[in-house]
Structures are given as C-alpha cells and as structure tokens.
A and B are shown apart, each in its own frame.
Chain A
C-alpha cells in the first residue's frame, strides 16, 4: 500500500520533452488512470515511478519518501505491460515464482508454492500452471502477467495498457476482473491507457495527458461532465462531445456560420460572455430529436449500437452526433428537428479552447 506523489517532473529525451512540469498525487488504495494518446507521456510517467527512468528534474515520492536514489528493485512496485513481460522459456508456474525468488526477498519455498497456488486460484489459471507461456492465448498470458504482479504483494501496481492487445470481449471481461482484484486487494493501482472507456469504467481518478502535460484530473464524472478544454471534451466520451462554433447573443446561442439559434436559458446571462467567440460543447445524449425542436436537420448517418442508435445530423456543413433509443425509426436523409438540453451545454473560449467554467 502506498501513496505516490510526483512533484514537478520534467523528462527530456535529447531535445524532445516527454513530460513537462508534471505533478500527480495518487492516494493510497486508489485506482488511478493516466489517459492520453500515443506519445503523450503516459508510459514515461509509469517508468519514472517504476525507477526504470530517471527524471530530468522533479521528484518522485512513495509514502512521502523521495525515491530518487532507489533502483527498480527497491521501490517494490509491480509492472504489467501490454506484452513481453512473461519469459517464453519458463512455464506459467516458473513465471509466477520468478518474482519471489530474487535474493533480496528470500521467500521460503513452502510460502512460494502457497502464494502461487493462491494467485492461480484467484485468476483461474490453475490448469495452466505447467504449460509453457508461448502456448497460452492472449487472455491467458495477460492473466499470468497480472498474476506475476500480485503474487509478490507489491506496494504499487503499475499497468501499461495491459488490455489493449486483447480482443474486445476479453478486454471487457478482464476489465471487470481487474477492477475487482484492485478492490479486494485495496492496493494502489496506476493504470495507463489510451482507451477512454477503460479510464471511465475502472478509474477512481483519471488524469488526461496531452503532449507531456496534464490537461485535467479528477473523477471520471468530473472529466466527463465538466471537461477543462476542447481537447478533453473531444477525447473523452464515445461518441465524443459535439463542438460547435458560435457566439452568445442574449439568451441564445448563435451558431456560425450557419447562423441558426439555440436557446441557452439562464446560462447566457450568467456567463457574461456576450458576443464573445465561443465553442459550444454538447454531449450526444443531450441533443434531443423531437418534432417541436427549434432547428431542422437532415439525417446524415445512423449507427445501430443495439441499446441505442447514434444518429449523425447534418445542418449545412455541420455534422452533429446524437444518441437516440434503439426504437426510434430514422432513415438517412430524413428531415428531423432537434434541440439541446441547455443546462448541459459547456462553453469554451474559441481561441484558447479552455472551458469558461475552468478559466473563471
């Protein structure tokens, strides 16, 4: 169990700045997700905590102790990677025993056997114990990798996209399983992913990373409902938030360049942003298709997702996504009317992309 703090971390590789002045605070027992695109610096952050990289400047604290001089072994962390963390020449059992066998740990043989058995049971891989790891399926391999991590009872679990190499069904199953394991162990997890669904469904806290900087951190709900800027708004959520350029005029949003209007109700006056160039953000589920709504649009595309439909609406050049119940019957090129749920609109400054709620 451990509390992890990164303080003003900068990491440069030659001329390339991978992380710029990054600070993180991960509470004990928290499932913390680092979310970002490829190259955003997620893996680098993880490797800094693991002690596989040294920061160019800044400090890493584990339980309040500066661990700058600690090697990977002394930090007592466990690492699960997307692939390659199992040794192909070893059996599953040998792979699970491996973390318990270094000289610095000196775990007695009986305890090793007992712990391996317990982990195998938890992960339901008992029948695989004597198999060579190159004869496992992707899901089994990843289970064993997770097993290798938990068998040691480390202070922190670091996971680098452990699920992204798996197929969709398995990913879903392991997602739940992993979250359950974390809750049962009550351990600190630092989980890196580019998949916002993983972040939203598993994380107690999520930090969104872009170009080596943390754009926003908070609970998944905060990030989803109140994105700090247009990057977060378009990155988190599937389908992403609709971003519409326009300006505010009294209690109405005037959308440019099509110049149709949508009501903003009380939001307009309160923000004090009259005539300012804005970007309006609205989640697909807050766009409403109904006959009495203010704006007319054509149905551009319909995606059927089973429980719901994602409808792409076209107004002039502008494409907007809305979710509707699966029952709604819509055909491409149908004329429909839509409006939005004015309370849920997020206002972004069009120049900086920052949410007005956050800059205020």
Chain B
C-alpha cells in the first residue's frame, strides 16, 4: 500500500470506492429481489408499489417441493388442525397438498429436476476437466504432429453458437435413443466445455516446468506416476478455475435442456419457467426455485475462491 497519498489521490480513491459500491449494488439488486420474493406470502409478491417490509415465511419453499391443488372451499377446522404446520401454510394460501392412495405426500417436479441438474453438471464437469487436463498435458509435453492445427480445430468447435446444431442434434439423439437421458445431456455439455477446458489447461500446463517430471522420471517413476504425483498437484489452481467455468456453463445451460429433455432427465433451468404456466403465476414459488438453483454455483465458487483468484488471471501474474 502506498504510504504517502496526495490529496487528489485520496479523492480519487474515495470516488473509486463509491463507484465500486454502486456497481456492486446494481449487480446484487436482482439477487436481493429474488431472495426477498422467495420468502414473501403470495399476495405481497406483486404489489405496486413493491413490498419491502414483510414477515418472511417459508411457504414458497413448501409449495415448491410438494404437489398441490386448488381448494374449492375453506378446510374444516378439524382438517386444518390435523394438518402438519407446513401444510397449514399451504392451506392459508387456499391450496392443499396432494396425497396418494396411501396418504403419502407427493413431491413436486422440482427436487427431481434439481438432482438431474446436479448429476448432469457434476458428471460433465468431471469429464470435461479430466479429459481436458490429459489432452492439455499431451499437447504441452509431447511433440504432436500438426499441434497448432489440432488445437485450432478443437477451438473451432466453439465458433458456432451451439443452438445452430440443436435440430440436427435432436434428430440424431432421437435416432440413438439419447433423448431425455442423463447421458445425452452429459455428452453434450462435455463436448461444449472440452475445447475450453483443453485451451485453459494447456496454458496452465505450459507454466509447470517440465524439469519437475523429468526429475521424477530419472528418480524411477513412470510417466503416469510423475503426472499424478507431481503435475496434478501443481496444476490444481488451473483445474479449479477450469472446473468452475465448466460447471457454471453446464449448470446454466437452457436451450439444449429444453429441447432434449422433458421428464426423466429434465434439468432445473427449463423446469423453473415452465412453472409460470397458465393462469396467475405464483412468483414466490418461482423465486424460491431460482434461489435454490443459485446456491450450488455460489457454494462451489466460494469453496474454490482462492484457486480462482489466481486461476482467472490465466497465469498472467504467477511467479
């Protein structure tokens, strides 16, 4: 930190801090709005002017998780008293929880979709980063014939907007039975992310001195052992950064998920807006679904933040 500051520098510093605060507020405002809506009772969600002060309740999350139907008439007093506390909240909103023949609560589509999102995003991230790391290592350490051309070819898979190939992909997937399967989406997302992963990891691999592995080779380790014992720990930062980017891409993907899946393997992004449905949308439920959907990426990024700070500079300020 500069020990001596002139007056003009100090003023400039203040201005910069204010600017950063303003920008941060602008970025955080929608997230605040989602979060606050997720805890509002339904009748306060769309008031004009907007309601800022309210008693938060978790009924939107209850509604999000269970299947429910509109009630024709008010529940009787015994009925209301017999219901558990969370069902009472739904009844207050004029709805009731749907139960099957055995009287068990039916889950809504959301938990399943959320699980699908996790399965697809995590698996495709692991695959893309794993394959990308190995590929990058190969390109970085060995003489590959036509290396520049191959790398350019890998990059060129990113040059078309993916949606351009959506219809042919849909037809191909239908022909081979990958429609509405986890593996279908996993393969797609891995393919999207792979070129990105290869290029990013190549940069990180090039930064790791090959002398490390050579020392290990001479010491009697195989190339594989040297890779796992020496190269991989050194590349952790790069792997973390790449994984975050791949995970976010796969987690947020909407268009292909909408086209390729409808039930079994549908992920959260196409499901949440489908809740808007017909009639009056219940914005509190949608906000609750969106808020939960934001969490995994936030947690993942938070856990890897130290690596990420160094990683996103793409090796520019290492050493």
Residues of A at under 8 Å CB distance from B? Answer: 50-52, 71-73, 75-79, 81, 83-85, 87-89, 98-99, 102-105, 148, 152
Contacts and interface: CB of A to CB of B under 8 A. Distances in A.
A102 B220 contact: yes
Contact of B217 (A72, A84, A105, A152): A72
Contacts of B216: 98
Interface in B209-243: 209, 211-212, 214-222, 225, 230, 233-234
Given A81-B211, A84-B211, A72 B218 contact: yes
Contacts of B219: 73, 78, 98-99, 102, 148, 152
A23 to B, nearest CB: 24
Interface of A is mostly: loop
Contacts of A152: 219
A85 B225 contact: no
Contacts of B221: 73, 102
A52 B233 contact: no
Contacts of B234: 88-89
A105 B220 CA distance: 8
Contacts, number: 53
Interface residues of B, number: 16
Contact of A52 (B212, B214, B220, B225): B214
A76 B221 CA distance: 11
Nearest to A145: B215
Given A87-B230, A89-B233, A89-B234, A102 B214 contact: no
Interface centre among B211, B216, B218, B219 (most CB of A within 10 A): B218
B211 A73 contact: no
A89 B220 CA distance: 19
Nearest to B233: A89
7 contacts: A72-B214, A73-B217, A73-B218, A73-B221, A79-B214, A79-B215, A84-B212
Contacts of B222: 73
Interface string B115-149: 00000000000000000000000000000000000
A88 B230 CA distance: 10
A152 B219 CA distance: 8
B212 A87 contact: yes
Contacts of B218: 50-52, 72-73, 75, 77-79
Given A87-B230, A89-B233, A99 B211 contact: no
Contacts of A148: 215, 219
Contacts of B214: 50, 52, 72, 79
B74 to A, nearest CB: 67
Contacts of A85: 211-212, 215
A79 B219 CA distance: 8
A227 to B, nearest CB: 34
Contacts of A87: 212, 230
A72 B222 CA distance: 9
A168 to B, nearest CB: 24
A223 B233 CA distance: 47
A102 B220 CA distance: 6
